[in-house]
Structure 1
Amino acid sequence: MFDPKQAFDLTGKVALVTGGSRGLGRAMVDGLARAGADVVIASRKLDSCEQAAAEVERDTGRTALPLAAHVGRWDELEPLLDAVYARFGRLDVLVNNAGMSPLYDTVDSVSEELFDKVLAVNLKGPFRLAALAGARMAAAGGGSIINISSAAAVRPRASVVPYAAAKAGLNATTVGLAHAFGPSVRVNAIMAGTFLTDVSAAWDSEAFARRAGTFALGRGGRPDEIVGTALYLASSASSFTTGTVVTVDGGQP
């Protein structure tokens, strides 16, 4: 018989969230910790990770380990995992959340450097970290990998072409890695829509309001509204779910 409390309980588990010090990553870190997991908060800025870790430990009572790592640099990813295993001896959940989408004027102005940087952070890094973590999880008997994709992967706009291409690649990577690491390790993705994180403070509020008016829910999402899906995919509640891209976008057309 399905027991909801037991299925979503992450007590004794360890979860690593990249880009975990702010935005959607920070919301998922808090949700995972409140579900019982010890968490690893990784981003480029150690001080931000340390601040977030202190808040998580204070608010949830779980252990939170802050680590600095640039996911776009492959040589930093194995040391990141080594640090996780040195502290906890295990990793049960990986959330590939770190991402970036720099602005540009026109597509013909996109430099090779910008294109490569966007793909490194949004696709190459998540692939490599998932590949390394998935191999270790499989050797240990199981785990869950969650890639944070974007609605831009299937609804690309002129202003985010490299980012959209990277996220479309991440969707394909998700399915492929599910087959690579099954049956013991599950790999899924959340295709996130427009969420009102700290980044949204710089948006044109009137333009966004007009666009959000076309969403089925008529608004952007709160960061905590991605947490339920993340907990489902991280926990045994999704034990028969893998190779799936779950859309969480408020009904964007």
Structure 2
Amino acid sequence: MSLFDLKGKVAIVTGSTRGIGEAIVHRFAEQGAKVVVSSRKADSCEKVAGEINAKHADHAIAVPCNISDKADLQRLVDTTMKKWGKVDILVCNAAVNPYFGPSKDLPDDAFDKIMSANVKSNHWLCHMVLPQMVERKDGSIIIISSIGGLRGSPILGAYCISKAADFQLARNLAVEYGVHNVRANCIAPGLIKTYFAKALWDNPDILEKSTSNAPLRRIGMPDEIAGAAVFLASPAGAFMTGQQLVIDGGVTIA
């Protein structure tokens, strides 16, 4: 068996109709996993699930979900359980950032939305899948955080706070559930060429500032994060828990 084999595994990936999440569901299916494609828009979910099933028959289902709605998250888990009977892998990828600017001007409602969607929703969803992971003594939770959680920012302050909180969420889950052979880790990407981060890479001045001192002198691509998710979900990552895997082209060490 390959160290990266995911045959027989079932994975839920939130925010998986574009960017990093989409790359992850494609790569999980490529390694044999059954995947649940989920984001707000049903047509987008169906499109990605259809593309996966065209290559890997009966490996994907589409379940639209608003991560800020607790009942909707429960429906996501219940639908997966009804279809495939378990959840081996959970990837909390969906996130929001409705505000771009200095913290002194951050509206209260924007701060609340960021913390609710990026932290509380992950907490909810993790605890919805954990009981059956504990029962089977097997599970991998992966939270897509950010190097923003490791650094201060003059324009993404609240988002960075939420991503730092995600690191701690993974650590707490790792400590609580490691005895049941359930692992929890974070991936901390640097600047990746996704629609979500377009405000950063589409601005030539910001892009230059972000890459000029980076050892690799470029931003990343979604597939370069998907490979790390495969590692953390597979036997290759079986001894890793409570950690943050930084993938940023070297930005944080330069």
Report the TM-score when normalising by structure 2: 0.94
Alpha-carbon distance between aligned partners in 2 of 1:142 and 1:167, rounded to the nearest angstrom: 26
Aligned to 2:247: 248
Q: 1:6 deviation in Å?
A: 2.2
Q: 1:109 deviation in Å?
A: 2.1
- Counterpart of 1:141, as a letter, is K
Name the SS of the counterpart of 2:2 in structure 1. helix
Name the SS of the counterpart of 1:159 in structure 2. coil
Aligned to 2:65: 69
Q: Map of 1:1-253 to 2, 5 A cutoff?
A: 5-183=1-179, 184-202=181-199, 203-253=202-252
Q: Contact 1:96/1:148 (CA < 8 Å) preserved in 2?
A: yes
Name the SS of the counterpart of 1:240 in structure 2. coil
Q: 1:75 deviation in Å?
A: 2.4
Q: Contact 2:190/2:247 (CA < 8 Å) preserved in 1?
A: yes
What are structure 2's unaligned runs of at least 5 residues? Answer: none
- Identity rate, percent: 35
Alpha-carbon distance between aligned partners in 2 of 1:30 and 1:63, rounded to the nearest angstrom: 10
**164 and 201 in structure 1: CA distance in 2 versus 1, 3 angstrom threshold:** closer
Q: Contact 2:99/2:106 (CA < 8 Å) preserved in 1?
A: no
Mean CA deviation greater in 220-229 or 103-112: 103-112
Alpha-carbon distance between aligned partners in 2 of 1:93 and 1:48, rounded to the nearest angstrom: 22
Q: Contact 1:39/1:62 (CA < 8 Å) preserved in 2?
A: no
Count of aligned positions: 249
Q: Contact 2:45/2:63 (CA < 8 Å) preserved in 1?
A: yes
Report the TM-score when normalising by structure 1: 0.94
* Cα shift readout 1:187-242 (whole Å, capped 9, x = no counterpart): 11101111011345552124302421111111000111112211110001111111
Q: 1:107 deviation in Å?
A: 1.9
Alpha-carbon distance between aligned partners in 1 of 2:64 and 2:228, rounded to the nearest angstrom: 26
Name the SS of the counterpart of 2:141 in structure 1. strand
What are structure 1's unaligned runs of at least 5 residues? Answer: none
